[in-house]
Amino acid sequence: MDDNYRAAVDAAAIFSETDLRGCITYVNQQFCSISGYSREELLGANHRILNSGLHEPTFFLDMWRALAAGRVWKGEICNRAKDGSLYWVDSTMVPLIDPHTNKVRKYVSIRFDVTEKRQLLHTLQWRVGHDVLTGLPNRAYLSDLLNQALAFSRREAIPLAVCMLDLDGFKAVNDGYGHATGDLLLVEVARRLQSILRGGDAVARLSGDEFVLILRHIEGPQQLDAALQRILRALAAPYMVREQPLRLSASIGVTLFPQDDEDADALVRHADQAMYVAKQQGRNRYHVFDVSQELELKATHQTVTRVRRALRQGELCLHYQPKVNMRSGQVIGFEALLRWMHPSKGPVPPGEFLPLVEQTDLIVELGEWVIDQALTQLQQWHQAGRDWSLSVNIAARQLQRGDFAERLAGLLGRYPDVDPARLDLEIVESVAIDNLPRVGRCLDACRALGVRFSLDDFGTGYSSLSYLKRLPAQTIKIDKSFVRDILHDHDDLALAGAVIGLARAFGREVVAEGVESVEHGRVLMGLGCELAQGYGIARPMPVEAVAGWVAAYRQPRAWRQGLIARPPLGAWR
């Protein structure tokens, strides 16, 4: 190379020349300085002398292949200096071609030191994935770690524990001793956690005083207990921060894969939920996430979502079960019972979905829909000259809403032709027990609107006399579970008799549910109850069937004759 050019290149770059075998034939001063070797040591030596071992063999193979083919090669290479330290150079290797033979004669390489840039990049990359204070992986990197651990566990069928750890009382340290002390304490906590972990385990700092641990060596409950106790003990040992003795404990929530067979996000969420339970249970302990409970919750959620859609899509309807006076045969009214006409399963009884819906606010919306349907029906019956009453069931949650009476008034206002006294709200007494003063006020407000109340399923709850006195229900419905057995269980017979007597004493009407046979009706009449509802009279029916059924209904002769039945022989002791 022309000396002038070489002087220019020498000034600008790390420069060397190599023969076809890779032996160094020329190096400039910059080359000697950065590599730490003298010119004498380098000349004649193979270029491999600088190999850092950091690159795969294919890296150099590709490079030599390009050069041998006469192409320029560019890339960043990590070299090792004489003192063992690493440095990065941005290299351009140029094969020089002999113009006479047209063959590669030698290689020259022009390099620039990019070590600092590389270090900066590395630091930046590290910072992206780590918490600068403790040096632990951060939330972003945790997600990678957890996904890798999960993939491994799935592949190798190895259990995995994901733990959410939250320090107890850390805020008090921060507030009492300042953030600098708090920070040092976190560093020490991180150190203790790291020192406990075994190979393949990991700990990350999520935020503040929250850490996530991934434990791989958990074969069973004993090992889990041992590992977590070790962690709790280690963190509960005294601390000395800035000559300040400090104490701390931790609450840990754990979830176990594969029992909890979810993705990384869900596992962390479950561990978090379990951690809150550990906190509630008194801190300095761990709590294992309950998978079956979660599955139940999920099922509830699915059902509720499905019912919500059913309501929107018009898959719900009411069926009507008559209430009759057994003696006169008069149909006094109906109870509206919810039915879900499932597109594939057919009619679904309320017992299969209402208990789940009743745990959510959907019951409020659904309950209002039921009242609205009932009022529509009452209006149609009224227009047809039928003055039957109609009962609807009101769920506890619905009634406990502060605005129940107000909303009921709004609904009634939309049906001015309907006499509110035709609407009967069936409530179970437990509704009132939780909050008698408030519910009592609500019921009074509803009564002021003119609607009536029945106490449903009477006898199955507390059936307390004081509630009976204070609840403004005109009617008591004896629960079908007693009625069913009055023919052969003298206790149930006695109970039914007592409820009927009680109703009379309080001046309430009484309706027997679950009258399945003529005989049931006879015995009830003998006890003084004439109003009844049950399969023995009619099953709940769609609205189209109601008029026809009423027209055809004749009460059994045994009832018509008003025979006062004696209780079955031997029923009274």
Where along the sequence are the contacts to Mg ion (CB under 5 A)? 393, 426, 456-457, 513
Minimum CB distance to Mg ion, residue 304 (Å): 22
Pick one of Mg ion, ligand C2E, none as the site partner of residue 260 (Cβ within 5 to 8 A by kind): none
Cis peptide before 472 (omega within 30 of 0): no
Residue 456 CB, nearest distance to Mg ion (Å)? 4
Mark the segment that binds ligand C2E (CB under 6 A) among 6-14, 166-174, 326-334, 348-356. Answer: 348-356
Query: Is 519 one of the binding residues for ligand C2E (CB under 6 A)?
Result: no
351 binding ligand C2E? (CB under 6 A) = yes
CB of 310 to ligand C2E, least distance (A): 13
The residue range among 187-195, 302-310, 498-506, 512-520 that interacts with ligand C2E, by the rule CB under 6 A, is 512-520
Please report how close the Cβ of residue 366 comes to ligand C2E at its closest, in angstroms: 7
Q: Rule CB under 6 A: is residue 272 a binding residue for ligand C2E?
A: no
SS3 198: coil
Considering all CA atoms of the chain, what is the largest pairwise distance in Å, rounded to the nearest integer? 134
Each residue 275-314 as x (binds ligand C2E by CB under 6 A) or -, in order, gives ----------------------------------------
Give burial (CB, 10 Å; 0-12/13-18/19+) of 25.
middle
The contacts of residue 365 (CB under 8 Å, 6+ apart) are 311
The reply on whether position 535 binds ligand C2E by CB under 6 A is yes
- The C-alpha atoms of residue 18 and residue 16 are separated, in whole angstroms, by 7
Could you tell me the smallest distance in angstroms from the CB atom of residue 392 to ligand C2E?
6
SS3 call for 559 = helix
Residue 349 touches ligand C2E, criterion: CB under 6 A: yes
Q: Tell me if 457 sits within 8 A of 477, measured CB to CB.
A: yes
Q: Give how far the C-alpha of residue 495 lies from the chain's centroid of Cα atoms, to the nearest Å.
A: 44
Which letter does DSSP use for residue 401 in this model? S
Place of tokens 């209904």: 553
User: How many whole angstroms separate alpha carbon 362 and alpha carbon 360?
Assistant: 5
The contact mask relative to ligand C2E for 454-483 (x = CB under 6 A, - = no) is --xx----------------------x---
- Strands of 466-561 (E only): list them: 475-478, 509-512, 531-532
- The pattern of x and - marking residues 377 through 416 that bind ligand C2E according to CB under 6 A reads ---------------xx-x---------------------
| For ligand C2E, the closer CB: 161 or 439 | 439
Least Å distance, CB 321 to ligand C2E, is 6
426 touching ligand C2E, by CB under 6 A: yes
Spatial contact of 97 and 52, defined as CB atoms under 8 Å apart: no
Quote the least distance from Cβ 351 to Mg ion, whole Å: 11
The mark string for 55-94 relative to ligand C2E (x by CB under 6 A, - otherwise) is ----------------------------------------
Is 323 a binder of ligand C2E (CB under 6 A)? no
Residue 322 interacting partner from Mg ion, ligand C2E, none (CB closer than 5 to 8 Å by kind): none
CB 453 within 8 A of CB 427: yes
Minimum gap (Å) between residue 286 Cβ and ligand C2E:
40
SS3 for 12-29 is HCEEEEECCCCEEEEECH
Residue 521 interacts, among ligand C2E, Mg ion, none and using kind-specific CB cut-offs from 5 to 8 Å, with none
Pick left, alpha or beta for residue 271 (phi over 0 → left; psi -120 to 50 → alpha; otherwise beta). alpha
Stretch that binds ligand C2E, among 178-186, 283-291, 294-302, 347-355 (CB under 6 A): 347-355
CA distance 536 to 214: 63
User: DSSP letters along 161-173, please?
Assistant: EEEEEEEETHHHH
The pair of three-digit structure tokens given for residue 14, joined into one six-digit string: 């790390």
Least distance CB 152 / Mg ion (angstroms): 56
Question: What distance lies between CA 406 and its chain's CA centroid?
Answer: 34
Closest separation in Å from C-beta 328 to Mg ion: 23
Q: β-strands 239-241, 160-168: how paired?
A: unpaired
When CB distances are held under 5 to 8 angstroms depending on the partner's kind, the choice from ligand C2E, Mg ion, none that residue 337 binds is ligand C2E
Looking at 281-359, list the stretches that DSSP marks H as alpha helix, in order from N- to C-terminal side: 291-312, 354-357
Q: What are the E-state strand segments in 343-416?
A: 346-348, 389-393
Q: Is 534 in the site for ligand C2E (CB under 6 A)?
A: yes
Contact range with ligand C2E by CB under 6 A, out of 30-38, 291-299, 508-516, 556-564: 508-516
Phi-psi region of 564 (alpha: psi -120 to 50; beta: other; left: phi over 0): beta
Task: Specify the residue, 166 or 456, whose C-beta has the smaller distance to Mg ion.
Answer: 456
Q: Report in angstroms how near the CB of residue 335 gets to Mg ion at its nearest.
A: 6
Site of interaction with ligand C2E (CB under 6 A): 321, 337-338, 349-351, 354, 367, 370, 392-393, 395, 426, 456-457, 480, 513-516, 533-535, 540
